[in-house]
């Protein structure tokens, strides 16, 4: 389809995705209509079908493209880092930095897991696991090197991820604390929570 292949097609797709993300963030997936979306973008409803066939496909596209970009950036950030504590520090900084400016994506990725078909849910859940497993693996590596105690690495990773992602719920870029101040505070909290040996 020429509209999706050309640069104007790519631009329209980005506009559609942004508008859809906003509508789902504000009203939820079930309440969002393709008619309302077309109105918001300022195109005919029929034109949407150049970019996706169903509302479900749109949701999957939104969430999976976020997860793909996230995992790609995660790999890039952690590439070549061998020391587990250095990897933990890098992961913590990366996770906060990436999500803090994407609160709409974070909200929709979490709240609309309910709205996927079982097939799509499984794909998204696997993508989430892949991202989380990277942190779990770092913790296990730190445990093997006796740099942290022998707690349940998976449960610990979930705790850290929830703590860090929770920043999106209250952080205000124009607020009292800068992003760097937040990263400093949470870096300290997360490393302490994991009980990284003080000597390291």
The residues binding a second copy (CB under 8 A) are 25-31, 107, 110-111, 114, 151-152, 155-156, 158-163, 165-167, 169-170, 177, 182, 185-186, 188-190, 192-195
Distance between CA atoms of 33 and 54, rounded to whole angstroms? 11
Which residues lie closer than 8 Å to 189 by C-beta, 6 or more apart?
163
- Smaller CB distance to a second copy: residue 34 or 163? 163
| Cβ proximity to a second copy, 9 vs 28, nearer residue | 28
Rounded to the nearest whole angstrom, what is the least distance from the CB of residue 166 to a second copy in the complex? 3
Pick 111 or 130: Cβ nearer a second copy: 111
Give every CB contact of residue 3 below 8 A, 6+ residues apart in sequence.
9, 12, 47, 50
Cβ 7 to a second copy, closest distance in Å? 34
Cβ at position 105, least distance to a second copy in Å: 15
Nearest distance in Å: CB 163, a second copy: 4
Q: In terms of C-beta density within 10 A (0-12 exposed, 13-18 middle, 19 or more buried), how is residue 126 classed? A: exposed
Q: For a second copy, which is the closer residue by CB, 8 or 111?
A: 111
The phi and psi torsions of 189 (rounded to 5 degrees) equal -65, -45
| CA dist., res. 62 & res. 74, Å (int) | 18
């Amino acid at each position: 389809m020429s509209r999706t292949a050309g640069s104007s097609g790519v631009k329209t797709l980005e506009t559609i995705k942004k508008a859809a993300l906003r509508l789902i963030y504000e009203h939820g997936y079930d309440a969002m209509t393709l008619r309302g979306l077309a109105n918001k973008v300022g195109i005919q409803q029929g034109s949407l079908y150049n970019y996706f066939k169903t509302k479900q496909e749109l949701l999957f596209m939104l969430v999976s493209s976020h997860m793909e970009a996230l995992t790609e950036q995660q790999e890039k950030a952690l590439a070549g880092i061998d020391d587990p504590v250095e990897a933990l520090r890098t992961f913590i900084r990366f996770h906060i930095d990436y999500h803090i400016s994407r609160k709409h994506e974070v909200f929709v990725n979490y709240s609309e897991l309910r709205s996927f078909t079982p097939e799509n849910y499984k794909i998204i859940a696997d993508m989430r696991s892949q991202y989380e497993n990277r942190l779990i693996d770092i913790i296990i590596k730190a445990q093997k090197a006796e740099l942290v105690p022998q707690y349940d690495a998976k449960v610990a990773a979930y705790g850290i991820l929830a703590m860090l992602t929770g920043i999106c719920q209250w952080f205000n870029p124009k607020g009292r604390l800068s992003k760097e101040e937040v990263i400093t505070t949470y870096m300290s909290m997360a490393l302490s929570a994991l009980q990284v040996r003080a000597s390291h």
